[in-house]
Structure 1
Amino acid sequence: MHRTNLYVIMEEIIIPYELPEVENHSFFFINQRVNTHIEAKLHQHDAWELYYVLHGYGTRMAGDTLQSFSAGDVALIPPSMPHYWEYTPLSADSDGYIHYLMVAFSHSFIVRCMEMFPELRNRLASLTFPVNALKFGIESSRIIRKMLSQMNNMDELGRLCEMFRLLPIIFNTSDHIFAGKPMHIERDVRRMQQICTYVMAHYVHTISLDEIAAEVGMNRSAFCSYFKRCKGMTFSQFVTQYRLNTACELLKHSQKQISEICFAVGFNDVPHFNRVFKELEGVSPKDYRKINA
């Protein structure tokens, strides 16, 4: 294990990442078996992430810390902490895939559950929730792995019931080790995070250069030069790419119509959305959904 400054290890600025909307669900559960090269890069999101590695090994970054990980590891990443899981290609199975289970849930989900259910409140009310990333020890990992594996075979109501059992375990156990703490980030990175956060909150609407420049206390010309220097692309190109990244997640993880997704991610014209999507992703939205079904 070792810690490293953010600017040493990253080639790109941290990108805020919105977990795909799962309609009529209160948390996000995924059983993911994918090629190593399509795993998420350095990102952050406003949710707790409980992650169980079934197959594969590599390096995990959480906050200011790099640690190796392997099959069987279970870790908890706090909301808004930059992180990534980089799998070694040689760790893939015979089909070229790695495999993990992941549960992501907002802190407001915990709060609402505590408000609604005294039984859960009795277990969690006195807790100080961790600000550091945690890797669970042998016994806790065994219990959590079993529960996540059971959730994988349950319907949505069964998973919700299992979440009520899971929350006290992950937050009450002392069977864990340190896996990363929040970083003290230099000014340029903090400013870029501010820009990315603003985009994440407003990408469904038109964002003018004057508007985003004012958000970070710069004039339009200075902002354009600054952004191109930091990201190697224009702000407009960045917003378009973020919209398409979000569209890709919705195509993979939701049942929304393509026209719904088009407007949900900030495009105002379906033919234009289809054209831009194919130019940047290499396939149409319809074909992308088929490939990733």
Structure 2
Amino acid sequence: MADSIQYHRVSDTPELVISDALYSDYQFEPHYHLDYHIGLVIDGVQRQQFQGQSVLLGPGRISVMPPGEIHDGSGYDNSAYRMKTFRLSPALLDDYAEDIFESNRDHDFGGAMVENDLIAQRLLSLHRQIQQTRTLSSVEVEELWLSLMAPLLSQLCAIKPKSVNGGLSTLHWQQVKDYCHANLGSKITLEQLAALCGLSRYQFLRRFEKTCGLTPRSWLIRLRLEHACLLLRRSDQSIADIAATVGFYDQSHFNRAFRLAYGVAPSAY
């Protein structure tokens, strides 16, 4: 059985991308996103690892990964599975959260597995409607979206990210992220990042991995790819220009890294 992965852009909402995929051989290595991912398996089972635990995602369960949450994904017992996802920007989630909650409620939470067959079925219905219409702003679609986000966000807001002991301080971690975002198109070295924190390269490497679960190199490649995803759906730049903008030294390197991360070429995203 061959893998089949399709991404669908939403014409009136560039802050949202949906996908529909059948995974047989493809495996997600540990990675993160810059936006929120809501995933549903409709056939088969996916095994996920995040926050030091291994969980199974099957029909009736909903996987919600906020920005920065390190997780992976593979077929359970070497079997194929079919999965649908919503990929929505923090700005889009903020917009709906402000509509749903009367107060400026904090919706910071860690990765979560939500067990709710009713919400899962309604999310699948919403996914089908968006896929068919390519729009989010129609009355029917937006009504369903808001009615689903309310109970889902209410449950998730009670879940807080776990703190990390022995890693980078909150200030140093933010400084590293800010520096990488600001210099994404340039060469970034381990020495530069360690200097931001007043650490040796070895100290920085160990504390970085403790903080986020990836090496600096893996984390930075993912950051470049995630920004490339934003540019692919929001700009008219060529793929070669996007590759250069996010710091890849040539288009072929960018194409290989993108296909490895998302299962499709940049032109199919």
Aligned partners of 2:46 and 2:56 also within 8 Å: yes
2:26 is the alignment partner of 1:49 = no
Fraction of identical pairs, as percent: 16
Deviation at 1:32, TM superposition (A): 3.1
Q: Map of 1:161-240 to 2, 5 A cutoff?
A: 162-163=141-142, 165-172=144-151, 182-188=161-167, 195=176, 198-207=179-188, 210-218=191-199, 222-223=200-201, 227=205
Structure 2 unaligned regions, length at least 5: 1-8, 210-214
Deviations 1:57-98 (A, max 9, x none): 132234354321223432333343333333226321xxxxx3
Deviations 1:90-134 (A, max 9, x none): 321xxxxx322211223322334577xxxxx2x332466362524
Structure 1 unaligned regions, length at least 5: 1-20, 93-97, 116-120
Deviation at 1:23, TM superposition (A): 9.0
Report the residue type matching 1:182 in the other structure.
Answer: P
Structure 2 distance, partners of 1:203, 1:134, is 32
TM-score (norm 1): 0.61
TM-score (norm 2): 0.65
Partner of 1:111: 94
SS of 1:76's partner is: strand
Please provide the CA RMSD for this pair.
Answer: 4.7
Aligned partners of 1:59 and 1:66 also within 8 Å: yes
User: Could you say if the C-alpha distance between residues 57 and 38 of structure 1 is closer, same or farther in structure 2, counting changes exceeding 3 Å?
Assistant: same
User: Could you say if the C-alpha distance between residues 230 and 104 of structure 1 is closer, same or farther in structure 2, counting changes exceeding 3 Å?
Assistant: closer
Report the residue type matching 1:257 in the other structure.
Answer: S
Deviation at 1:273, TM superposition (A): 0.8
Partner of 1:76: 64
1:138 to 108, 117, 133: 117
Structure 1 distance, partners of 2:244, 2:136, is 31
Structure 1 distance, partners of 2:48, 2:219, is 27
* Alignment: residue pair count: 248
Structure 2 distance, partners of 1:41, 1:32, is 19
SS of 1:187's partner is: coil
Q: Which has the larger radius of gyration?
A: 1
2:133 is the alignment partner of 1:154 = yes
SS of 1:66's partner is: strand
Aligned partners of 2:36 and 2:67 also within 8 Å: yes
Report the residue type matching 1:262 in the other structure.
Answer: A
SS of 2:125's partner is: helix
Report the residue type matching 1:54 in the other structure.
Answer: I
